């Protein structure tokens, strides 16, 4: 079950954290994985090397999802090379925290251009090839898009207005694109991770982490592998009747 043999998956921000775990999990199910990064080429190479050492197929591709032209160019090159990209994991994201009164315009722009516009650019470009069945393999048709939202999109959080707004926008986008592309065999879903142990949450003090754990019924912070497992499921053929949904993987923090 949940095999992805013969499929090609792009994981934006696949070099670290949740994206890296998703890339490894998709490759373990047989997908060829493209690991995207923006600054950390070494980390991306290490993620791809770990996949190939485990017997999987991976390559790296650096581009800034917030740079629309660069993203379009890179994605068109990948489609040309692989024929099509079957699975998009739009995971690249940033958080710049601060109370509303202190939020700067340039921070708003960075958050929205990465988390929202970057995701929509990838979805727009890749949807064209997902709409066309593969010329060489009839089993490769349609596609899977998974947008990495956050529990904060639905709960809100002090100091995360811009981040929450960008992640909530992804929910509306996933639902709309799901409706637009359903007839073409493309499913679009959002994943809503809770607090997950990655570099993004590493800067929190032990006291802050303790406070957060108190809000999680399962009593612990989640792992990137637990998000990756949900990602594999949504990317699989078995999830073909699920579209426009939010899959929350948050230890019960928001139900
Ligand atoms: P992370 O450890 O900070 O890793 C972020 C990844 O995104 C890195 O691979 C980074 O690449 C890449 N990236 C950042 N900006 C990019 C850009 N403009 N273009 C291309 N790649 C870019 O983050 P994470 O904790 O794994 O989070 C991954 C996603 O899950 C994010 O969208 C985040 O909002 C979401 N999320 C995380 C949590 C959590 O608790 N960790 C909870 C809910 C949702 P470089 O290293 O090259 O910069």
Query: Distance (Å, rounded) from C-alpha 9 to C-alpha 237?
Result: 14
Half-sphere CA count of 65, side-chain side, radius 13 A: 31
- 209: helix, strand or coil: helix
End-to-end CA distance of the chain: 27
- What does the mean pLDDT of the chain come to? 96
φ/ψ of 86, rounded to 5, equals -85, -30
Measured by CA distance, the residue closest to atom 3 of ligand 1 is 200
Q: Which ligand 1 atom sits closest to the C-alpha of 15? A: 9
Contact criterion met (CB below 8 Å) for 93 and 37: no
* pLDDT digit string, tens, across residues 157-199: 999 999 999 999 999 999 999 999 999 999 999 999 999 999 8
How far does residue 13's CA lie from ligand 1's centre (Å)? Answer: 6
Measured by CA distance, the residue closest to atom 8 of ligand 1 is 13
How far does residue 180's CA lie from ligand 1's centre (Å)? Answer: 27
Nearest residue to 4 (alpha-carbon basis) of 35, 18, 25: 25
Mean of pLDDT values over 16-35: 98
Instruction: Please tell me the predicted confidence (pLDDT) of residue 203.
Output: 82
Instruction: Please tell me the predicted confidence (pLDDT) of residue 187.
Output: 98
Order of all β-strands in the sheet with 8-11 = 57-62, 32-37, 8-11, 87-90, 143-148, 186-193, 246-249
Mean of pLDDT values over 104-124: 98
How far does residue 138's CA lie from ligand 1's centre (Å)? Answer: 34
- Catalytic residue, chosen from 37, 163, 241, 254, is 163
Nearest residue to 155 (alpha-carbon basis) of 142, 144, 171: 171
How far does residue 136's CA lie from ligand 1's centre (Å)? Answer: 34
For residue 119, the surrounding DSSP H or E stretch is helix 118-130
Measured by CA distance, the residue closest to atom 43 of ligand 1 is 150
163 is catalytic: yes
Q: Which residues line ligand 1 (CB under 6 A)?
A: 12-13, 15-19, 36-40, 43, 64-66, 91-94, 114, 118, 148, 150, 193, 195-196, 198-201
Query: Distance (Å, rounded) from C-alpha 68 to C-alpha 64?
Result: 8
How far does residue 90's CA lie from ligand 1's centre (Å)? Answer: 10
For ligand 1, pick from 68, 109, 200 the residue to mutate: most ligand atoms within 8 Å of CB: 200
Contact criterion met (CB below 8 Å) for 48 and 59: yes
* pLDDT digit string, tens, across residues 41-85: 999 999 999 999 999 999 999 999 999 999 999 999 999 999 999
Contact criterion met (CB below 8 Å) for 33 and 57: yes
Mean of pLDDT values over 101-105: 96
Q: What is the DSSP string of 127-178?
A: HHHHTSPPSS-TT--SEEEEEE--HHHHH--TT-HHHHHHHHHHHHHHHHHH
Residue 20 above 80 pLDDT? Answer: yes
Tokens standing for 243? 């579209």
């Amino acid at each position: 079950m949940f095999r992805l043999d013969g499929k090609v998956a792009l994981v934006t921000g696949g070099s670290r954290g949740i994206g890296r775990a998703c890339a490894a999990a998709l490759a373990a199910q047989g997908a060829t994985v493209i690991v995207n990064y923006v600054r950390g080429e070494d980390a991306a190479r290490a993620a791809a090397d770990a996949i190939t050492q485990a017997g999987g197929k991976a390559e790296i591709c650096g581009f800034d999802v917030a740079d629309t032209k660069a993203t379009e160019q890179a994605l068109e090159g990948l489609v040309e090379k692989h024929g099509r990209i079957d699975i998009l994991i739009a995971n690249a994201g940033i958080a710049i925290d601060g109370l509303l009164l202190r939020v700067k315009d340039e921070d708003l722009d960075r958050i929205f251009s990465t988390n929202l516009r970057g995701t929509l650019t990838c979805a727009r470009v890749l949807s064209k090839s997902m709409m066309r069945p593969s010329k060489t393999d009839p089993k490769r048709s349609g596609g899977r898009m998974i947008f990495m939202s956050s529990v904060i999109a639905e709960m809100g959080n002090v100091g995360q207005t811009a981040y929450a707004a960008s992640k909530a926008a992804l929910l509306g986008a996933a639902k709309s694109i799901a409706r637009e592309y359903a007839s073409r065999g493309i499913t679009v879903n959002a994943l809503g991770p809770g607090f997950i142990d990655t570099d993004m949450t590493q800067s929190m003090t032990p006291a802050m982490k303790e406070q957060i754990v108190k809000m999680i019924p399962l009593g612990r912070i989640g792992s990137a592998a637990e998000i990756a497992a949900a990602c594999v499921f949504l990317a699989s053929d078995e999830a073909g009747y699920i579209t426009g949904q939010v899959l929350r993987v948050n230890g019960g923090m928001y139900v």
